């Protein structure tokens, strides 16, 4: 899918007072909408738009934050639409693939049994299905380093918990809808917690504090508590370094 003269009018422009111009792609196919938001953000950053202070891709739109002392919603809208022309959802950059461990169930994944029961599965089936699919980071948001990964096996689809937890421990892995998140920090949260990871998606002391980028692909594998501990230790002493594989294959 490409943005052309024929379909550019399907883009809606919405406003958030004098602070944000929202380029809305919701009338496009959901997968294309995510890609368009991400690609437009990249283009605008590369161009260095005067007065633009941030560009935040959402699930089906791009929020462009601007400084209304320097520029205006008219100027930002015009430039955004100008740069949206010609965007091509097939024109993705090389995406990275992460293979990462998760310790499922037990105290690390207090909702695993419940998820299994709700979906009429055994806990082991939930683990098998969750590790089977390659997930794709759709957007980053909510907390520093938190990735919304889409592509969870359809047989595991569940809504968020009806009453969110006040305290979700850091590094918990949760599922809801077609998505998976890892909480980089302790936080309130409503996702179904099925495991925990032995690595930091956000570490202020790392050269690049944020591990994931939108567009990254992620495949999880199951580890037990001993292996979990070992992985944590290896990371701490430097014998294991988190690195993704590069791939040109579109996610």
Question: What radius of gyration do the chain's Cα atoms show?
Answer: 20
Nearer to other proteins, 72 or 131 (CB): 72
Which 112-141 residues touch other proteins, going by CB under 8 A? 139-141
Nearer to other proteins, 117 or 186 (CB): 186
Question: Which of 4, 7, 10, 16 forms a contact with other proteins (CB under 8 A)?
Answer: 16
CB of 205 to other proteins, least distance (A): 9
Q: Which stretch binds other proteins (CB under 8 A): 18-26, 103-111, 218-226, 229-237?
A: 18-26
User: Hey, is 130 helix, strand or coil?
Assistant: helix
CB of 127 to other proteins, least distance (A): 26
Total residues at the site for other proteins (CB under 8 A)? 44
**What mask of x and - would describe binding to other proteins in positions 203 to 232, judged by CB under 8 A?**
-x----xx--xx------------------
> Using the rule CB under 8 A, is 242 a contact of other proteins?
no
71, with CB counted inside 10 A (0-12, 13-18, 19+), is: middle
Please state, as a whole number, how many other Cβ atoms lie within 10 Å of the Cβ of residue 158.
16
* Beta-bridge partner residues of 21: 15, 64
Question: Which of 20, 109, 174, 215 forms a contact with other proteins (CB under 8 A)?
Answer: 20
Nearer to other proteins, 210 or 222 (CB): 210
DSSP 3-state percent helix, strand, coil across the chain (nearest 5): 25, 30, 40
The CA-atom distances, in angstroms, between 109 and each of 102, 171, 205 are: 10, 11, 27
Task: Give the ranges where 48-122 is alpha helix by DSSP (H).
Answer: 73-84, 112-118
**What mask of x and - would describe binding to other proteins in positions 66 to 85, judged by CB under 8 A?**
--xx--xx------------
Phi, psi (5° rounding) for residue 228? -60, -50
**What mask of x and - would describe binding to other proteins in positions 162 to 201, judged by CB under 8 A?**
----------------------xx-x--------------
> CB pairs under 8 A, 24+ apart, for 46-53?
47/79, 47/83, 49/76, 49/79, 50/75, 51/75, 51/76, 52/76
Question: Which of 4, 8, 10, 53 forms a contact with other proteins (CB under 8 A)?
Answer: 53
Report the interface residues with other proteins, using CB under 8 A.
14-20, 22, 26, 41, 53-63, 65, 68-69, 72-73, 139-146, 148, 184-185, 187, 202, 204, 209-210, 213-214
């Amino acid at each position: 899918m490409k943005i052309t003269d024929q379909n550019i009018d399907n883009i809606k422009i919405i406003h958030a007072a004098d602070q944000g111009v929202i380029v809305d792609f919701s009338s496009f196919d959901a997968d294309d909408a995510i890609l368009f938001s991400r690609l437009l953000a990249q283009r605008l950053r590369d161009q260095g738009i005067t007065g633009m202070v941030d560009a935040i891709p959402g699930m089906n739109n791009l929020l462009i934050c601007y400084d209304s002392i320097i520029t205006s919603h008219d100027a930002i809208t015009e430039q955004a639409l100008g740069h949206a022309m010609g965007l091509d959802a097939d024109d993705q950059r090389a995406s990275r693939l992460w293979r990462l461990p998760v310790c499922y169930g037990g105290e690390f994944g207090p909702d695993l049994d419940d998820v299994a029961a709700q979906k009429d599965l055994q806990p082991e089936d939930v683990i098998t299905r969750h590790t089977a699919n390659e997930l794709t980071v759709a957007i980053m948001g909510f907390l520093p380093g938190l990735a919304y990964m889409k592509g969870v096996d359809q047989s595991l689809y569940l809504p968020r918990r009806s009453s969110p937890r006040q305290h979700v421990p850091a590094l918990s892995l949760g599922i809801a809808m077609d998505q998976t998140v890892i909480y980089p920090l302790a936080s309130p949260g409503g996702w179904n917690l099925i495991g925990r990871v032995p690595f930091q998606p956000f570490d202020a002391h790392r050269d690049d504090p944020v591990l994931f980028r939108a567009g990254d692909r992620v495949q999880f594998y199951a580890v037990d508590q001993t292996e979990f501990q070992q992985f944590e230790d290896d990371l701490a002493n430097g014998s294991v370094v988190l690195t993704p594989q590069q791939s040109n294959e579109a996610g």
